[in-house]
């Protein structure tokens, strides 16, 4: 924080990157401003936009006054020139709707600004962020450059669904966040799900850690570990057995093939010869083609 540089936190989905920003805001007693990134995100949603309805209303209300200001003119060109002289009235901060980034810049006390899942945004949005990440300022054509009096604490998170630009990375400190160790995850369960007994918590964490070693499309997140713990408390489970794992597996595993692999591993489902092979996700066309070819080859022989 003393370096006044943004922090880029990368790691698998569900390891606590967003929670890190929330905890930082709570620990430092700062406001948390969050911008959830997505494909197609632009300046109007991230920085500012003009309140056109309000501008139009003011124009209608002040119609007579506008006529007085323009006065007698020699033609459209002269009238347009006089009208341009009054543009600042309608393109001022009174008609500006601040979005998260501008809110962070203009805040009287520096907040924590969370740019969540920046890898989901387009490369164009990354380029737009560079000025802000470098100097904590933004340029608004109608107003000018707006600088932050106090630099906000900026946290960017990425699930690495795509590679971020070198320009963005150069402007940030980097933090790699992975799944926690068994000891740390056990402490998290005890803290966030206090109704779980020590023995059950130990079994649950050991099972989760073991499941994450499998080749799954999506490994259980820390949040799903906590959901599972709370579910077991509701069920009044004294310990974790194969039958209970099978009944509650949907809490932590979201794909059928992943569930088959987990059940086979713990002994609750049919063994499969291809459990160690990666499931095609549709993201890699070569992988999908290989699986189709392998399946066809089996049937023809």
Alpha carbon distance 7, 113 (integer Å): 11
- The whole-number pLDDT of residue 140 equals 85
122, two tokens = 């387009």
- The whole-number pLDDT of residue 48 equals 83
Quick one: fold of 7-47+99-176? Rossmann fold (3.40.50)
- The whole-number pLDDT of residue 69 equals 61
- The whole-number pLDDT of residue 267 equals 62
Q: What is the pTM of this model?
A: 0.73
Q: Among all chains, which residue has been given the structure tokens 């050991």?
A: 206
In the chain, what are the domain boundaries? Answer: 7-47+99-176, 52-93, 182-294
Question: Which parts of the chain have pLDDT scores under 70?
Answer: 1, 52-55, 58-93, 267-301
At 232-244, the pLDDT tens digits run: 999 999 999 999 9
- The whole-number pLDDT of residue 144 equals 83
At 5-61, the pLDDT tens digits run: 999 999 999 999 999 999 999 999 999 999 999 999 998 899 988 776 665 776 666
Alpha carbon distance 237, 199 (integer Å): 11
- The whole-number pLDDT of residue 4 equals 86
- The whole-number pLDDT of residue 39 equals 95
- The whole-number pLDDT of residue 75 equals 59
Strand partners, 50: 96
């Amino acid at each position: 924080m003393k370096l006044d540089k943004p922090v880029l936190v990368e790691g698998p989905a569900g390891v606590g990157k967003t929670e890190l920003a929330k905890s930082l805001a709570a620990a430092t007693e700062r406001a948390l401003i969050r911008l959830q990134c997505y494909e197609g995100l632009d300046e109007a949603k991230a920085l500012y936009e003009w309140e056109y309805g309000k501008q139009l209303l003011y124009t209608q209300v002040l119609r007579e006054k506008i006529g007085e200001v323009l006065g007698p003119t020699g033609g459209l060109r002269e009238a347009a020139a006089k009208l341009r002289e009054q543009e600042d009235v309608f393109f001022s901060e009174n008609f500006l709707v601040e979005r998260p980034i501008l809110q962070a810049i203009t805040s009287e006390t520096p907040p924590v600004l969370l740019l969540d899942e920046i890898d989901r945004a387009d490369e164009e949005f990354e380029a737009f962020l560079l000025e802000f990440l470098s100097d904590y300022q933004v340029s608004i054509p109608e107003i000018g450059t707006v600088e932050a009096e106090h630099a906000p604490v900026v946290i960017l998170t990425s699930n690495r669904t795509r590679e971020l630009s070198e320009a963005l990375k150069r402007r940030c400190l980097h933090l790699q966040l992975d799944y926690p160790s068994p000891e740390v995850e056990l402490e998290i369960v005890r803290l966030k799900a206090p109704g779980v007994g020590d023995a059950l918590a130990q079994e649950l964490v050991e099972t989760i850690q073991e499941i994450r070693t499998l080749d799954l499309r999506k490994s259980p997140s820390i949040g799903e570990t906590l959901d599972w713990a709370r579910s077991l408390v509701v069920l009044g489970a004294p310990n974790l057995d194969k039958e209970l794992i099978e009944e509650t597996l949907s809490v932590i595993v979201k794909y059928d093939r992943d569930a088959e692999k987990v059940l086979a591993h713990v002994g609750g489902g049919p063994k499969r010869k291809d459990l160690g092979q990666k499931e095609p996700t549709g993201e890699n066309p070569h992988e999908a083609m290989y699986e189709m070819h392998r399946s066809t080859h089996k049937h023809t022989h």
